[in-house]
Structure 1
Amino acid sequence: MLKPLDLDRGFIPESILSQTLKEYGIDDYITYPYLNMNGTAVPINRVSETSRRALIESQDGSLYFMKEVPWYVESIEYAKSIIQLQYELSVKGIKVPEVILTTSKKLFVHIDTNKILYLQKYILNSNMYKNYSEQIYAAGKELRDFEIKAASVFRLNILAIPQYSPYESAKNVLVLLLKKFIKKRSEMKKEDQEEIQNFVRACRKLIDQWSTQHGQISGKQESIIHGDLNPMNFIFSNKGSVSGLIDFDNACIADPLVDVAEGLLTFAGVTYRENSSRLASINELEFSNFEQFLNGYTETHGLALEEREVLPLLIATAGIRLASLGLIRGDWPISSASDHIQVVMKNLKLSQNYLRQIKLGN
């Protein structure tokens, strides 16, 4: 497994940075602070849970974004495949940051045995998500384009990307949730212990039920999916169109409807903390956002009846996974666990109703 470059700093260490940039023929450069979404600099002593990053201006004035492959990526081959996927998508015209080749025509720089870094063009004049309808529609439309181009990359059979089951993933997060609170059992109130146990028990039962239902319905043919589709992984232009789809660190092989479901949930049913990618709440699905995202996604292609039946199951499963992650990270109190199940069930019904109401595609 890959390891972080430096557990004590939010930036790529200068020694690693200069060594890496030489591979790109960049000897003279300026390093800028990596900024949060609110425009403030990331503190120099910030501990990054995923990967080191750096914003760089080369001697000719070009801006680049250097990124380390996150520590949680399970193998070197998977890490290489993530970068190659982004490169192939860029070649095919998908709006992703262009991966820059080294002087020896490589896609990345492999430092020591467990550090992989790669250079991307920095996307200028860009904005983060502001909950504008134009952005939501554009995100759905871009997802469809990504889906088509990713399928063509998938057919090349050149990437070592793992299979993914949304149902097994949700169960795995529940296991992590249990493990966390088993360790803290002695510190917990009895009612909180019962709340977590009841939450996990109920969620497992629901996931098994939805997985069985999904198995009885044919969805889309498996392909490469983004794996972490949410508003924070889109960059938008000043006019609301998509400038870039970013962060392919969770790319995997699955039914493309998994991405659609996660997009619908996160654009229409999740509130984020101000200037942050951290979750504030999971809410009832907002019809207007739900409709905008789906209209963008189905602008040129409609949804088959089977796909309309599968999507609510995937939305509900994604809701359980996000609710569980929120409990693990402390985004919301333990006492809210049962409330989240109610929201998930409400969204299952709402998405079923919305999909019956909305006229989609051509």
Structure 2
Amino acid sequence: MILHRRIAEIPAHEWDACAGDDNPFASHAFLSALEDSGSTGPATGWLPQHLALRDDAGHLLAVAPLYAKGHSFGEYVFDQQWAQAFTQAGGQYYPKLQVAVPFSPVPGPRLLVGEAPNADARRLLAGRALQQACRELDLSSIHVTFCTQHEYDLLGGNGWLQRLGVQYHWENAGYGSFDDFLDALASRKRKAIRRERRDANACGLTFHAYRGAEITEALWHDFYQFYLSTVDRKWGSAYLQPGFFPLLSERLGDRVVLMVARQDGVPVAGALNLMGRDTLYGRNWGRLSGHDWPFLHFELCYYRAIDFAIEHGLKRVEAGAQGEHKLQRGYRPCLTHSAHWISHPGLRVAVAEFLGHERAAIMAELPALDAMTPYRAGS
């Protein structure tokens, strides 16, 4: 087991052979763009400790995107109450270890092993290697967030605490057009979406989806201002640095999709998406500060994403964390998964009890959430 303080220490082709090509957030390109732009590192409190397993001949068997953290910001799986309770009891919760894609609540693989012959390496990660890293660094805990259900089950089988969450994803049922999708909805809901799209497109705005090299430096400059505007409205911190977005476009090419709204030819809003093998992942969005247009967020982030997915034959759109308002727009509730290893026995017992109640509440809520979707019975 080796811990790397920079992802550049692991050749991109070796990392990507483990990560696969399905989920762009797990790629060397995405994670290196975060590091090289200064979005992760000492300034933001995400200190890379990427874990690598190699065989006796030096061949890379498995990797995990691993970070030492002195806070819980930028994770979207909230453990601040655990930290507060442990601190009040005289413990030290921070620093901790996080197996995650920083600032990205996107489900995907976290224990990266590539093809099936390396299944033993995944079990080694889940069973011993991550816990060994935690002990060697003398940290309180490890948190594997937004992992796959297979990883969730594997970690749970190795004694990790399991946590569920909910996101809202759109599924493509073989639609040939947006109207085909609308035909699957109840009449009243269908009319509501048509009205929102009509109003959004009646404001003198034009919309275009740019990909890869089509996204100019000027467009990225505009988009960063939109991103800052969103951060300001939410009283947050701008984790992503200006250089991150151009690097992403350069390294991921046509997998980067930027939806742009213009007024009189001037960009006024944008939504960043990444494209996987069969999924469009919505990530950041923003609009010109001090301006507002009716239903622009829904049009740019949700409906345009559905248009794009249908046109390109993608199976789903994942539009990010939270937001029950997505239900009325055809996005269905889906479970997300994380796993947590806590070294202190007392804290571990308390968190396990909390998570048991939380899982039960989430599973009880799912049918009610699904009933809020606009689909006709049987659709």
Determine which structure has the larger strand proportion and give its number: 2
TM-score by length of 1: 0.27
Q: Higher relative contact order by CA 8 Å / sep ≥ 6: 1 or 2?
A: 2
